[in-house]
Amino acid sequence: MSFTECGLEQEKRVRVAYDATRTLFVKQDVNNRYDVHMTVNNLGSIPRLDVGSHIRQLRTARKISLRALGEQLGISASALSQIETGRRQPSVARLHQIVSVLEAPLSAVFDTSMTPIIEPSSAIAPMGTAIQRGNEAAELTLDGGIHWLRLAPAPMPGLDLLKVTYPAGAGPAEYMRHNGQETAHVLSGELSFDIAFDHHVIKAGDSISYDSSTPHRVTNRTDRTAEAIWLVVNQAAEHGLHSV
């Protein structure tokens, strides 16, 4: 769609926001519903995201130095700089810890330009309609090859919806805990959930919910890839995330 293809009345109802790689169209219909649609200017695909640059954006927005954030994370400023510059990928546990300290949702580590800044704000309210095509989903790969694909087509305050892929043998050695609630539904393969002193094997078609403040870790202990849908309900944290 372009302005030249719309009538004058349609032009009044279309707002367009640009960034360097994609175009976001927001169309309002006669019933005050919104269709949020993003098209991509580079052959219809979004490259895998540079999670380090987004961490740096979040950190600088909070006006926190590398050294100060590193101290809160328990790592050196040099190690944090390597994450921000893409020389190393954070683990799932480390990424949770970073966004917790920066008081940001998990979705914030995806391309920040994907968060539409649109007036009126009701454009992303529950009564609106947001559409994300299959080739528009933002994605990133973490340490160990664990891959996240953002499924939510528009920001959902307090919620993160992801498709997570665990390669064979992937998963952290350490336990982690953070405020919130998680629900996972395994699509293929199987995942091992160690939650406190309990061990659960969740296979394709199975689901599990747990309190994220309980020490936990998720691993793929098989020789085949596992995929799951993840819903994370975020809660304000007083003390952030901890490895245990």
Q: What is the pLDDT of residue 136?
A: 85
Arithmetic mean of pLDDT, 9-34: 38
What mean pLDDT is reported for the chain? Answer: 74
218 — pLDDT class (breaks 50, 70, 90)? very high
The angle subtended at Cα 161 by Cα 16 and Cα 142, nearest 5°, is 95
Whether 60 has a pLDDT exceeding 50, the answer reads yes
The residues near 39 (Cβ < 8 Å, ≥ 6 apart) are: 22, 23, 25, 136
35 — pLDDT class (breaks 50, 70, 90)? very low
160, 224 Cβ separation under 8 angstroms: no
Whether 118 has a pLDDT exceeding 60, the answer reads no
Q: What is the pLDDT of residue 22?
A: 36
21 — pLDDT class (breaks 50, 70, 90)? very low
Q: Would you call the peptide bond into 120 cis, given omega within 30 degrees of 0 as the criterion? A: yes
- Percent of the chain past pLDDT 90, that is, above it, reads 34
Find, among 223, 171, 214, the residue nearest to 192 by Cα. Answer: 171
Whether 156 has a pLDDT exceeding 60, the answer reads yes
Find, among 74, 242, 48, 66, the residue nearest to 137 by Cα. Answer: 48
- Percent of the chain past pLDDT 70, that is, above it, reads 68
Structure tokens at 222: 């098989």
Structure tokens at 123: 């454009």
Whether 30 has a pLDDT exceeding 60, the answer reads no
Whether 128 has a pLDDT exceeding 80, the answer reads no
Q: What is the pLDDT of residue 99?
A: 84
Whether 141 has a pLDDT exceeding 90, the answer reads no
Q: What is the pLDDT of residue 6?
A: 47
Maximum mean pLDDT: which of 10-24, 27-41, 222-236:
222-236
Amino acid 232 reads V
